[in-house]
């Protein structure tokens, strides 16, 4: 009486194991979500550069909740490169300077711009915090030669990575930005934030050499967080928090009054990726880089959730 259930149970288990072994890999590939569940409700904009819009291959679909599609400026569909940053990715975005000796606006970059604000980016209107993060690989000389000056060896003072524009931006000024910029005469990886449109910005700079943090030819996962309520900012590399320092003394975000403090109650004028002026009116701070799985969140992620996203992407 006791042996029959055991034989039936063993048979059922064997069948289940066989089904799992034969079907799980395909199902895992088709159903794997590249975004950690704890991020989804705050993921306003997300670009994996594997989803061109149906109408225009030179535009990239937003996989976040805002539906803010972006333009692949000057290079169009050719900017998608078969070089995924992590196991779940096949394609990344190549951005770069095209003609360093010519004053113009032909650099490869990406983003969106609206002169009166981008309504779909309302998640960053009067927001208490922002996180910008993604995968980056340096692929050429950075910073680029300055195409806006006559000096043949003059270089830009910054390398644009990714950021959210302010509500009164000309295409350069930002609300929250991850970039490389000169700090006291030395280039550093930084988070640069501005709480109030047109007011002062604050910068948090990594102490470590930026070339160690973003070496040529190596994919790295970078994140920057901006807490407009408390004034705290942070940088992360491959899921680990970086040591750093604030570059502006005092209270540049004007947090002395009662809170909670938020950003200006304006829709950002857009997103910029790989350089400034996504409306393509000027070349400034181009990056010779590849970028993948760029995320713009309307909250301050803590270190555990940033590390969870990194581990999900790397299967660690």
129-159: pLDDT as tens digits = 999 999 999 999 999 999 888 788 899 999 9
Tokens 């050429």 correspond to 140
11 pLDDT higher than 80: no
Q: What is the pLDDT of residue 4?
A: 39
The distance of Cα 222 from the centroid of its chain, to the nearest Å, equals 8
Share of the chain above pLDDT 70, in %: 90
Check: CB of residue 148 under 8 Å from CB of residue 310: no
Q: What is the pLDDT of residue 105?
A: 87
For 151, the token pair is: 């000096």
Cα distance between residue 277 and residue 116, in whole Å: 15
Q: How confident is the model at residue 26 (pLDDT cuts 50, 70, 90)?
A: very low
Q: What is each CA distance from 145 to 55, 62, 99, 103, 158, in whole angstroms? A: 35, 31, 9, 11, 11
Q: What is the three-class DSSP state of 138?
A: strand
Cα distance between residue 219 and residue 221, in whole Å: 7
Q: What is the pLDDT of residue 104?
A: 78
Least-confidence region, from 104-108, 281-285, 301-305 = 104-108
Q: What is the pLDDT of residue 101?
A: 79
Least-confidence region, from 97-111, 198-212, 245-259 = 97-111
- What number of helices (H) and strands (E) belong to the chain? 3, 17
For 60, the token pair is: 């990239």
User: What's the mean per-residue pLDDT of the chain?
Assistant: 91
Q: How confident is the model at residue 311 (pLDDT cuts 50, 70, 90)?
A: very high
Q: What is the pLDDT of residue 21?
A: 33
The stretch 99-115 carries a mean pLDDT of 91
Cα distance between residue 107 and residue 97, in whole Å: 5
2 pLDDT higher than 70: no
Residue 104 phi, psi dihedral angles, 5° rounding: -175, -160
Least-confidence region, from 25-29, 161-165, 295-299 = 25-29
Q: How confident is the model at residue 1 (pLDDT cuts 50, 70, 90)?
A: very low
Q: How confident is the model at residue 22 (pLDDT cuts 50, 70, 90)?
A: very low
The pTM of the full predicted model, rounded to 2 decimals, is: 0.90
Q: How confident is the model at residue 103 (pLDDT cuts 50, 70, 90)?
A: confident
Share of the chain above pLDDT 90, in %: 83
Give the pairing of strands 202-206 and 129-138: unpaired
Cα distance between residue 198 and residue 175, in whole Å: 10
212 pLDDT higher than 50: yes
Q: What is the pLDDT of residue 148?
A: 86
Radius of gyration of the chain (CA): 22
Residues 6+ apart with CB under 8 A from 236: 133, 221, 222, 223, 224, 225, 242, 303, 306, 307
Tokens 């609206």 correspond to 114
CA atoms within 13 A on the CB side of 54: 0
Q: Which alpha helices (H) appear in the chain, and where do they start and end?
A: 3-31, 210-213, 303-314
Cα distance between residue 110 and residue 67, in whole Å: 16
């Amino acid at each position: 009486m006791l042996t029959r259930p055991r034989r039936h149970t063993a048979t059922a288990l064997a069948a289940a194991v066989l089904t799992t072994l034969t079907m799980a890999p395909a199902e895992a590939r088709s159903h794997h979500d590249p975004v950690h569940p704890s991020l989804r409700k705050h993921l306003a904009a997300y670009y994996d550069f594997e989803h061109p819009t149906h109408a225009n291959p030179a535009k990239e679909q937003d996989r976040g909740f805002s539906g803010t599609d972006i333009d692949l400026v000057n290079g169009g569909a050719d900017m998608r490169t078969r070089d995924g940053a992590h196991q779940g990715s096949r394609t990344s975005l190549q951005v770069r300077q095209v003609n360093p000796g010519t004053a113009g606006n032909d650099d490869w970059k990406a983003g969106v711009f609206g002169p009166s604000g981008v309504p779909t980016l309302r998640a960053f209107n009067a927001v208490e915090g922002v996180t910008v993060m993604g995968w980056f690989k340096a692929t050429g000389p950075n910073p680029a030669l300055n195409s806006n000056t006559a000096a043949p060896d003059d270089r830009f003072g910054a390398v644009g990575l990714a950021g959210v524009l302010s509500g009164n931006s000309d295409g350069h000024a930002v609300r929250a930005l991850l970039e490389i910029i000169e700090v006291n005469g030395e280039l550093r990886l930084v988070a640069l934030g501005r709480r109030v449109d047109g007011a002062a910005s604050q910068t948090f700079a990594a102490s470590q050499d930026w070339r160690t943090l973003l070496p040529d030819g190596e994919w790295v996962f970078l994140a920057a967080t901006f807490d407009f309520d408390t004034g705290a900012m942070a940088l992360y590399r491959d899921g680990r928090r970086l040591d750093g320092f604030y570059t502006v003394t005092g209270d540049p975000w004007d947090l002395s009054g009662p809170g909670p403090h938020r950003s200006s109650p304006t829709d950002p004028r857009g997103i910029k990726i790989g350089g400034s002026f996504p409306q393509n009116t000027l070349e400034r701070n181009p990056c010779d880089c590849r970028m993948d799985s760029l995320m713009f969140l309307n909250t301050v992620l803590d270190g555990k959730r940033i590390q969870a996203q990194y581990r999900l992407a790397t299967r660690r």
